[in-house]
Structure 1
């Protein structure tokens, strides 16, 4: 039962309903706020996206993955994400070995974040799912367009501090309608100086997260409203946020 609930919850990291085996496609629009638009220009303004998601669980553990395309109508701005999250059960309890590989690419840079550590997840009697993970962070990046004053490249690769993941999801019935409320937040700390310069995060501690309200329309179709936020993370010092609108279909 633990693996079934965990595979379900891993799929819910993006607030999507699922079973032990889940495949879904989501498409929508990212509407970033004024702080983001002033800093990134059209890179974070009104940007379309489409995401393919999947999750599965077994007696051994569970895996969640997604592949995402952004700005796919603009060849100068097109970006991609590949994210794989896995847990290996430690005995029959709620503790797991935890790992995540997240790759983000844009035309002028790319970055892969690998986090390895331990996690604790639990489905409570009221259906609430919670997950906490603590891991080390390794970064592999290509910011070739950034150079130091002496012409040397920045060293933005290797061990890059620590990582904390927090997640909670709850499904409920609201006025006869099935709704899922999901929240996650990730923190990075102890990051290298060169990485902070080229990434644009600047400050040692940074975090980002998302709060999602999903309405299940029926027959596998759902609509979501997602509030996305970051502080000293996602390429900008200080705060920026946005609201995403999306439709998702679960096969």
Structure 2
């Protein structure tokens, strides 16, 4: 099962980060575990069924997931990572034909290394997902990022880089990716609140990532038998969230999840995510 490979990658990345940062001066750090429920909109479920793509084997469906997340900043740069266990009760040795309801493991690790005394960084991230229906995909982005911090609670980290994809029956450079992560800390009614947003824009995708041929006469997009999965040569993926730090140990949040020409559906998709975190 490819889930084992994903988990091994996450563990290896965590071990590498730990070894690298052991002797560095730490500026900040956080870690948490959370329980989350993702609720796709009715329109998204319908579009994922009707617009082709992977909906031909099952429309998107709502799911629970467990997440472990951590990050830290050091004198040389910063690191971040998470691992998600989606549909955790669906794991079984027989697999699951419907990928939307399969047990999945998703993991991401990122690192930004300072370029001299500037706010620029060498940037890289690895995202990997696999499931019990034997689907897997890994995405590597290598490029640069920039740190922008304010004294009123806002921070922004934009990035841009080359995108390499390794997945079922395909591997190679897949255009580029640009995006950002940002956060804003503020008080509301005396309570500690935070807004966060992560956003990824893929561009100049290879045709093979836009879909696949399902007939012997099909050679590419536009041919009879071409099944669109991600649709266009560009795509959007992200989420914006509102967090309430109820105590130093406990955080509640609601997220608006969005994607377009991504996640196996050549159309716009949106969902609400409800989260409860325990902070270490």
In structure 1, stretches of 5+ residues that fail to align are 1-18, 144-155
Give the number of aligned pairs.
Answer: 221
TM-score of the pair, normalised by structure 2: 0.75
Q: Secondary structure at the match of 2:198?
A: strand
What do residues 8-60 of structure 1 show as CA deviations (whole Å, max 9, x unaligned)?
xxxxxxxxxxx722221011100011233232487632200000011122212
Q: Which of 159, 162, 184 is the equivalent residue of 2:176?
A: 162
Contact 1:54 1:64 in 2 (8 A): yes
String of CA shifts for 1:186-235, please: whole Å, max 9, x gaps.
00011111121148102101011101000111031000000000111111
Measure, in 2, the Cα distance between the counterparts of 1:127 and 1:218. Answer: 19
Separation in structure 1 between the aligned mates of residue 59 and residue 276 of structure 2, nearest angstrom: 22
Deviation at 1:158, TM superposition (A): 0.5
Quote the residue 2:64 is aligned against: 48
| Structure 1 moving runs of 4+ over 6 Å | none
Name structure 2 gaps, 5 residues minimum.
1-26, 49-54, 97-101, 213-227
State whether structure 2 residue 58 is matched by structure 1 residue 35.
no
8 Å Cα contact 1:36-1:45 kept in structure 2: no
> For residues 1-251 of structure 1, what are the structure 2 equivalents within 5 Å?
20-38=28-46, 39=48, 40=55, 44-75=60-91, 76=96, 77-106=102-131, 107-142=133-168, 156-198=170-212, 200-251=229-280
Larger radius of gyration: 2
SS at match of 2:208: helix
Structure 1, residues 107-146: CA drift from partner, whole Å, max 9, x if none? 2310000000001111112121011101000000015xxx
Hey, what's the Cα distance between the residues in 1 that align with 2:242 and 2:143?
29
Q: Distance in 1 between matches of 2:209 and 2:61?
A: 25
RMSD: 1.6
